[in-house]
Amino acid sequence: MPSVNDRIIKTEYSEVMQKSYIDYAMSVIIARALPDVRDGLKPVQRRTLYDMYELGIRYDRPYRKSARIVGDTMGKYHPHGDSSIYEALVVMSQDFKKGLPLIDGHGNFGNIEGDGAAAMRYTEARLEKITQEAFLADLDKDVVDFIPNFDETEKEPTVLPVKIPNLLVNGSEGIAVGMATNIPPHNLAEVIDATKAYMLDENISTRELMRYVKGPDFPTGGIVINEDELLDIYETGTGKIKIRGKVEVEKARGGRINLVITEIPYTMIGANISKFLMDVAALAETKKTQDIVDITNQSSKEGIRIVIELRKDADVENFKNLLYKKTRLEDTFGVNMLAICDGRPETMGLKQIIRENVNFQFETATRKYKNLLEKELERKEIQEGLIKACNVIDLIIEILRGSKDRAMAKGCLVEGKVDGIKFKSKESKIMAAQLMFSEKQANAILDMRLYKLIGLEIEALINEHEDTMANIYRYEDILARRDSMAQVIINELDELKEQYRRPRRTQITTASEAVYIEKKAEEMDIVFLLDRFGYARTIDMATYERNKEAAQAENRYAFVCKNTGKVCLFTNTGQLHTLKAADLPFGKFRDKGIPVDNVSNYDSARESIVYAASQSDLNLYRVIFATKQAMLKIVDGGEFDVAKRTVAATKLQEGDEVISVAAYKEQRHIILQSREGYFLRFLVEDIPEKKKGAVGVRGMKLGAKDELEAVYFTRGVDDSAIEYKEKRVELNKLKLGSRDTKGVKIRT
């Protein structure tokens, strides 16, 4: 017996991982995420529909609980969890996602605004009529291959015999490993017309096919605005479709104007509707526009209706363009027509998808009519045997009466064996020996009931035989001539088109890019207020003058800036964050502000503000920096006039942080105070001017465990004093020293 070591296979770990990952990726691509080009369905969708077909949940029968369908599908065909099956069932029933819903849902199956479906134990479902007629109708005619399910206890179809290019009609979306598919839905009647055109001329071009398929037809309507780019998208199978919502103008009370959004881009389905409402509200809050009076969502089961009430003097077209530019009312649908073709993923254009579907139609039609022909030939054989038997019915009865058992009678009918059978005459025996019925004919004769001998029944049998012969000639013609088969397929397509067509919902056009002309605000002085909690707002100068003392006492920073300008926030981490004054709420003195985190990159959780100033003021001065490790420098304020929202205001050494930033105006002396009580006073002019990217120079010698705690400035003539550990310290009376010395210790 071989040892364990003999049975160990040694191989490269990287090779095993590579093979395993490739196997996993292909499994996801083929068996889960991507649709088959022939029926346009993913495995989970195909299995769900087939399970409903097997359970007999037809369109003309009662609904069944979704949980029953999901459980049966999971147990028989799709062992990947109930949530994925139920989600697929829900999506196939939602008319705002599918151009052609395949399942008739009963109960709460979610809505266009993103509310999810009720739990599967509450909802019910059944097949739609078109699903039975165009997706599942010929499964009993051996038109597709069946394979064992995951545990080989059931059989499932490899593909459904779908009679329309479902991949185009319903579209598809899915994310696999390293690839994704995103196919828009199209109009059923247009796709059928294009399919017929291809069948009549296989050399037809994509441009000619697009005479029929104008472009995508989204269930949510909307307007595709890049018609001139669609040809390239349908040629290559990839590209970007630009789609806008439909906006109507209504007059409201008081001379105001209502903009009513009645159709939305397909990409806005779900949570993006509420996101759109928030984005529109944000335009008003951030002063991007002052035209908005109110916004309401009046959508219902009847359709989308979002109403934006505007001021009387609003420029409607300019406001529309603002919505297109700043919200998802204009959005992009990224097309990637990727599907499984011949067992592998392939990106296909419009013509290739139609070609693959037509080839599939011919394949299923060939198998269908071969199956029907075999059944008709079998029926013909039996009918001819019965007609022949009726002509010699007296002899047949004589054989049956003279036979001892069924086998003896059958032997006589098939092979003319007469031994052991009692006949009334020699003539009957001679005639019986000449009978040559086939096996099937003999069984049919032996199973025939006496009422079949009635004259009308015999006449009906003859008529039935004539119908059978007509069917045989027809089926043989269909199988022998491609034109005949094509006509049969076209007739079926015409019937489906006539019964299930609907008007196009999405408008296709070429529109110019939305251009929003922003109204320039009249420049004026306002006052920026930042309280100790990090909330900022702005007020007008008159309000500030009336409440000056309170404003200075209640806020960390209060200074004048321009309403069109920016505010600079310097933080302890050495960062400079800029924010637009226009982005801050402007109002009354007691109004609440908004966190500066919301309008800048400042993060109050990991940094703190050490200085704030108007950017226009900084341009007039130089800025003094001091850090915990006593590094000092002066920077030209013009270096902080930047377009970026966040830049590094200074370079810090490891473990260091900024403790003071100040505009260099009339200060003469700087006083540095360390944590251990050392004070050093020297001239500000001793600090060198550096670039903002420099570290600076040392301003004070610190002890091993000491660090800079505070920075003060004096003009040299004033009597500035501070309270240090309950002791008054006159700053101007401190000994004047030199930069980079230890200073004097204040005894407490």
Residues counted in the chain = 748
Q: Are 232 and 226 in contact (CB under 8 A)?
A: no
Residues 6+ apart with CB under 8 A from 108: 117, 118, 122, 123
Q: What is the 3-state secondary structure (H, E, C) of 287-326?
A: CCCCCEEEEEECCECCECCEEEEECCCCCHHHHHHHHHHH
Amino acid at 123: T
Token readout for 328 is 């998802």
Q: Where are the beta strands (DSSP E) in 605-648?
A: 609-614, 622-627, 631-636, 646-648
**Cα–Cα nearest to 268, from 347, 189, 350, 323:** 323
Bridging pattern class, strands 124-127 and 146-148: unpaired
Reduced to 3 states (helix: H, G, I; strand: E, B; else coil), residue 421 is coil
Cα–Cα distance between 646 and 388 in angstroms, integer?
Answer: 99
Q: Which two tokens stand for residue 298?
A: 């009046």
The DSSP result for 40-59, as a single string, is ---HHHHHHHHHHHHHT--T
Backbone angles phi, psi at 691, to 5 degrees: -80, 160
220, 213 in Cβ contact below 8 A?
Answer: no
CB contact burial 388-402 (16+ within 10 A = b; e otherwise): bbbeeeebbebbbeb
Dihedral of alpha carbons 139, 141, 145, 151, sign: positive
Catalytic (active site) residue 557: no
Q: Assess contact for 74 and 85: CB atoms under 8 A.
A: yes
Sheet holding 257-263, edge to edge: 246-251, 257-263, 306-310, 292-297
Kindly state the tokens that stand for 555.
């806020």
Interatomic CA distance for residues 486 and 478, integer angstroms: 8
Out of 13, 59, 86, 122, the active site residue is 122
Helices (H), 338-392: 350-391
CA 300, 301, 304, 305 dihedral sign is: negative
- Amino acid (one-letter) located at 105: G
Q: Return the number of other C-beta atoms located less than 10 Å from residue 296's C-beta.
A: 12
Contact indicator for 396, 441 with CB cutoff of 8 Å: no
Smallest CA-to-CA distance from 506 within 234, 210, 207, 215 is with: 215
Check if the beta carbon of residue 478 is closer than 8 Å to that of residue 369. Answer: yes
CA distance 181 to 328: 22
Cα–Cα distance for residue pair 622/437, rounded to 1 Å: 116
Of 658, 700, 695, whose CA–CA distance to 679 is shortest?
Answer: 700
C-alpha pair distances (Å), 366 with each of 356, 396, 484, 554: 15, 40, 11, 86
Closest CA to 66 of 76, 75, 57, 78: 57
**How many whole angstroms separate alpha carbon 611 and alpha carbon 640?**
13
What amino acid positions are annotated as catalytic residues?
Answer: 122
